[in-house]
Structure 1
Amino acid sequence: MQQDTGAVDTAYRTLKEMAASFAFKPDERLNESAISVQLSISRTPLREALNRLTAEGFLTFRRGQGFHCRSLNPAEMMDLYEARAAIEGETARLAARRAEPGEIAALETYLEQSKSRYTSGVSPIELVRLDEEFHRRIALLSGNAELVRLLDNAAARIQYIRVIDLQLLSERDGAPAITTEPHARILKAVADGDEEGAAREMRSHISRRLEEVTANVRLAFSRLYAP
């Protein structure tokens, strides 16, 4: 049983990363036999991993057709951005209420240390990783494990689009667009215990990229299906 559990977890993590980055094309049917061979895993733990990913929104299951990669469309991405804004507005509000001074100081140190890495020359994948780390740390300060879990899911499902978004932002607006200033404003509100201010800064930080979602999805398709 432990061996099967380990196999399920390994397959889950590998396939989640593949689905998040659209290593499988949108709506592509997954070949379970090929994946089983590729991951050196039997069909039973593989099916359990696929079911977990379906429940989390990374895959879909069609009766009589099997598992497919999730779709990539502006409406779904818009829903996820809006969900993330709502989740993180609440985590920021709770962080302002509950975070201890030592926890805030540790996050201030992290933000200061990461500031030099926010440049137009850095990989957009690295920028997204840095951004997600800050947001997850704020969520942890909320003390609400369910909100952290919801954030992890939403962040993973929009990660591919966010990489494209940050790349375009950097190319279009240059170095001034790549900054930790929004994070600094969020953290200051948290440190001040300003619940509504922290929530407002967080929602504004996330929502300002909503208008770019449709264009980013179009670009994502062009890159995924480029010859």
Structure 2
Amino acid sequence: MDNEVGSVDRVYRRVKEMAASYEFKPDERLNESALSAQLETSRTPLREALNRLVAEGFLKFHRGRGFFCRSLNPQEIMNLYEARAAIEAEAVRLAALRAEPEEVEDLSRFLEDTKPQYRPGASPVELVRVDETFHLGLAKLAKNAELVRLLENVNGRIHYVRLIDLRSLSERGGAEAITIEPHTCILEAVQRGDADRASREIRNHIERRLEEVTQNVRLAFSQLYAP
């Protein structure tokens, strides 16, 4: 039983990575036989992993037709960004009320240590990793595991578009575009216990990128289907 559970978890993690990075093309039908061979697993753990990913929004299932990669369209990504803003706004509001001073200090040190990575031309993969780590760290200060779980799900589903977004921002925006200043303002509000200010700052920080969603989805398509 343990081996079976471990196999499902392994397959789940790998297929989730593939779906998050659009290794399957948008709306592409998954070939279960080929995927089973590629992942060196039987159809049973693969099917269980695929069903979990359907429930989490990474894949779609059409009765009689099988499993498909999720779509990539501006409205869906817009919805996810709005959901992220709502989740994080509530999380930092609670963090300002619940976080211990030493926890805030630890996150402040992480922000300072990673500051050199926020620079024009930085690897978008590394920028997204560092950025997600900081935002999840903030959410954890709320002491609400469900908010963290929701945020992790949304992060996974917008991961590819965020890579495009940060690459574009770095290449086009110059020195002022890649900065930790918004993070610093949010964390300072949490440190002061100013729940309303913290919530407002993080919502503004996330919603600034909404204007670029349509363009970033176009860029994502151009990279996915590049010859």
After TM superposition, list the pairs within 5 Å mapping 1:121-200 onto structure 2. 121-200=121-200
Aligned partner of residue 61 in structure 1, secondary structure: strand
Match of 1:24 in 2: 24
> What is the distance in 2 between the residues matched to 1:97 and 1:148?
16
1-side partners of 2:176 and 2:211: how far apart? Answer: 19
Name the structure 2 match of 1:205. Answer: 205
2:107–2:137 contact (8 Å) kept in structure 1: yes
CA–CA separation in structure 1 for the residues paired with 2:199 and 2:172: 28
Q: 1:38-49 to 2 correspondence within 5 Å?
A: 38-49=38-49
Q: Which amino acid aligns with 1:212?
A: E
Q: How far does the alpha carbon of each residue in 1:34-89 deviate from its partner, in whole angstroms, 9 at most, with x for none?
A: 11111111110110000000000000000111000000000100000000000000
**What is the root-mean-square deviation of aligned Cα atoms in Å?**
0.6
Residues 25-64 of structure 1 mapped to structure 2, 5 A cutoff: 25-64=25-64
Rounded Cα–Cα distance in structure 1 between residues aligned with 2:143 and 2:25: 37
Q: Is the 8 A contact 2:124 2:163 kept in 1?
A: yes
Q: TM-score, normalised by structure 2?
A: 0.99
In structure 2, C-alpha distance between the alignment counterparts of 1:89 and 1:56, rounded to whole Å: 22
Give me the identity figure in percent: 67
Distance 2:103 2:205 in 1: 22
Letter in 2 for 1:221: F
- Listed as ranges, the gaps of 5+ residues in structure 1 are none
C-alpha separation in 2, matches of 1:190 and 1:131: 17
Q: Is the 8 A contact 2:121 2:171 kept in 1?
A: no
Structure 2: runs of 5+ lacking an equivalent? none
Q: Give how far 1:175 is off.
A: 2.2
8 Å contact kept, 2:50–2:59: yes
Runs of 4+ in 1 over 6 A off after TM superposition: none
Q: Deviations over 1:3-58 (max 9, x none)?
A: 11000000000000100000000000001101111111111011000000000000
TM-score of the aligned structures, taking structure 1 as reference length: 0.99
Q: Whole-Å Cα distance in 2 between the matches of residues 84 and 108 of structure 1?
A: 22
